[in-house]
């Protein structure tokens, strides 16, 4: 029989203590008298995948001025940098490791402010049961936590599994451990995850050949050295018509001098409006045909990172290849692969000392995960129509087998990418967290049995 994690139920349990979960916990601790439990499966809450890196070369892709964790305190991160950022300012691209320290400080401050109302619990949530007046969460199969509401903020999962010299988790430090400086490396994917691995290799002094491969061979662009002013331009016609018409108008603006950087900056606050203006078929076509080009301009990297990429290419160490790949015989020392370049039918047989899957994080429903399997079986969870993440309502309530929004279960951050598609960056997640917090507080205060945020 499992023992209770706490004698009193929580008002809100947050499953996942990475950036998304911490942002929500901090908002709730500041704006309500509710009891919150943040459950994180590692011993280092607040870091998650993105901010657990120890590589100083891994920089934020957004300038510090746009990276406040709190939507109503836009200079919150800039002020933190002034105290603890080693001289960095609002226009700088700070190391992600520093942003991880910032989130840890935010969590510690929130716990202190809460005077016991916010608690952090270490453990893995293995099951969630929907009850008449809330939810019951199983933690590590040994503890039970009762809560009036639960929010899944489970973040990212690695692209695939490790096997010998093939590493499916690019964020683990052992992905590049044990390599000779001259070792040959294949990186599957040419987007942000590939760049992270490349920067780590360069920081370690790697000299061997590196091939980065994806279907189109597109690499993220980089920010200009100084912020660009937002152009004053009417973009209303980009929000109407067929996807082909919108794309044509978009390209026309780029050609007529606005440029990708300027246009993406104008559209940045309206990306979700653009997405929601597309029907399901248009969304599928966007994901299949346009998203790779959108992403390389939308998710640009810091200027210094751009210099590292261009330098590796210029000296012939880094090759960017547009191709398909098949993984062959794999041992602890080698991986055999077959490469078919874009536009060719020739099958090239190659061998690499290390292959690292850099195709980016996964957020879809995966019944190999005990929590997903249990929730699917119980009808509490289903995939969104595009298979990008978990299906949610317009209030972030989890949609189950019945097609009705849950009364007690909500989702935050990357697992909602099917509804938002642009929900991986802090500026997007902090707005979503603020809306979820406001909705949950209002809902709980109106519920019978709760007065002023506490059980009556």
Residues 366 and 436 in one domain: yes
Q: Is pLDDT at 283 greater than 80 in this prediction?
A: yes
CATH of the domain at 74: 3.50.50.60
Residues 112 and 7 in one domain: yes
Instruction: Return the pLDDT at 449.
Output: 53
Domain assignment present for residue 227? The answer is no
Q: What is the DSSP code (8-state) at residue 279?
A: -
Residues 118 and 19 in one domain: yes
Beta strands in 158-282 (DSSP E): 166-167, 185-188, 210-214
Please say which residue of 318, 337, 357 terminates a domain.
357
Task: Give CA–CA dist 50/124, Å, rounded.
Answer: 19
Please say which residue of 281, 298, 315 terminates a domain.
298
Please say which residue of 357, 388, 405 terminates a domain.
357
Domain assignment present for residue 332? The answer is yes
Residues 285 and 325 in one domain: no
Residue whose C-alpha is closest to residue 226's, from 382, 65, 414: 65
Mean pLDDT for the stretch of residues 344-371: 95
Domain assignment present for residue 186? The answer is yes
Helix (H) or strand (E) holding 120: strand 118-122
Instruction: Return the pLDDT at 186.
Output: 98
Residue whose C-alpha is closest to residue 183's, from 163, 211, 159, 203: 211
> How many independent structural domains does the chain possess?
3
Instruction: Return the pLDDT at 1.
Output: 47
Q: Is pLDDT at 453 greater than 50 in this prediction?
A: no
Residues 13 and 104 in one domain: yes
Total Cβ atoms within 10 A of residue 366: 13
pLDDT confidence bin for 265, thresholds 50/70/90: confident
Domain that holds residue 212: 166-221+301-357
Residues 447 and 397 in one domain: yes
Residues 273 and 309 in one domain: no
Residues 294 and 305 in one domain: no
Residues 293 and 210 in one domain: no
Mean pLDDT for the stretch of residues 356-363: 94
- Which of 406 and 238 is assigned the larger pLDDT? 406
Domain assignment present for residue 229? The answer is no
Task: Give CA–CA dist 322/328, Å, rounded.
Answer: 19
Residues 266 and 315 in one domain: no
Residues 292 and 179 in one domain: no
Q: Is 18 exposed, middle or buried (0-12, 13-18, 19+ CB in 10 A)?
A: buried
Instruction: Return the pLDDT at 123.
Output: 95
The mean-pLDDT minimum among 110-119, 205-214, 447-456 falls in 447-456
377 vs 142, 265, 302, 367, CA distance in Å?
21, 43, 44, 9
Domain assignment present for residue 228? The answer is no
Q: Is pLDDT at 5 greater than 80 in this prediction?
A: no
Residues 207 and 311 in one domain: yes
CA angle at 444 for the pair 22 and 442, rounded to the nearest 5°: 80
Instruction: Return the pLDDT at 254.
Output: 84
Domain assignment present for residue 411? The answer is yes
Task: Give CA–CA dist 354/204, Å, rounded.
Answer: 16
Domain assignment present for residue 121? The answer is yes
Q: Is pLDDT at 235 greater than 90 in this prediction?
A: no
């Amino acid at each position: 029989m499992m023992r209770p994690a706490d004698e009193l139920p929580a008002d809100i349990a947050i499953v996942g203590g990475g950036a998304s979960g911490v942002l929500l916990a901090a908002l709730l601790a500041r704006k309500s008298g509710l009891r919150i439990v943040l459950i994180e499966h590692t011993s280092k809450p607040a870091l998650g995948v993105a901010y657990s890196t120890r590589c100083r070369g891994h920089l934020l892709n957004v300038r510090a001025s746009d990276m406040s964790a709190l939507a109503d305190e836009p200079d919150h991160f800039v002020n933190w940098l002034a105290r603890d950022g080693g001289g960095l300012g609002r226009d700088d691209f700070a190391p992600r490791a520093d942003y991880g320290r910032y989130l840890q400080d935010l969590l510690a401050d929130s716990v202190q402010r809460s005077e016991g109302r916010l608690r952090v619990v270490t453990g893995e949530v293995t099951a969630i049961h929907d009850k008449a007046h809330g939810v019951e969460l199983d933690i590590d199969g040994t503890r039970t936590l009762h809560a009036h509401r639960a929010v899944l903020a489970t973040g990212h999962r690695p692209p695939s599994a490790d096997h010998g010299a093939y590493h499916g988790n690019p964020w683990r430090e052992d992905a590049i451990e044990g390599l000779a400086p001259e070792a040959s490396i294949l990186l599957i994917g040419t987007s942000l995850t590939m760049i992270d691995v490349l920067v780590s290799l360069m920081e370690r002094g790697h000299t061997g050949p590196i091939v980065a491969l994806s279907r189109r061979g597109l690499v993220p662009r980089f920010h200009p050295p100084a912020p660009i002013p937002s152009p004053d331009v009417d973009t209303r016609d980009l929000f109407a018509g067929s996807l082909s018409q919108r794309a044509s108008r978009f390209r026309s603006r780029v050609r007529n001098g606005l440029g990708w950087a300027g246009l993406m900056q104008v559209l940045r606050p309206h990306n979700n409006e653009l997405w929601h203006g597309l029907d399901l078929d248009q969304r599928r076509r966007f994901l299949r045909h346009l998203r790779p080009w959108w992403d390389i301009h939308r998710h640009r990297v810091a200027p210094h990172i751009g210099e590292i990429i261009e330098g590796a290419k210029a000296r012939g160490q880094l090759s960017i290849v547009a191709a398909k790949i098949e993984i062959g015989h794999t041992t602890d020392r080698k991986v055999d692969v077959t490469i078919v370049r874009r536009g060719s039918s020739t099958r090239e047989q190659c061998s690499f000392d290390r292959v690292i899957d850099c195709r980016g994080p996964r957020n879809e429903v995966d019944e190999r995960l005990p929590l997903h399997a249990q929730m699917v079986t119980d009808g509490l969870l289903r995939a969104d129509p595009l298979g990008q993440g978990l299906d949610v309502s317009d209030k972030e309530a989890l949609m189950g087998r019945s097609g009705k929004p849950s009364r007690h279960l909500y989702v935050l951050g990357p697992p909602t990418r099917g509804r938002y598609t642009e929900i991986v960056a802090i500026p997007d997640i902090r707005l979503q967290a603020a809306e979820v917090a406001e909705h949950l507080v209002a809902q709980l205060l109106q519920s019978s049995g709760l007065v002023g945020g506490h059980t009556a």
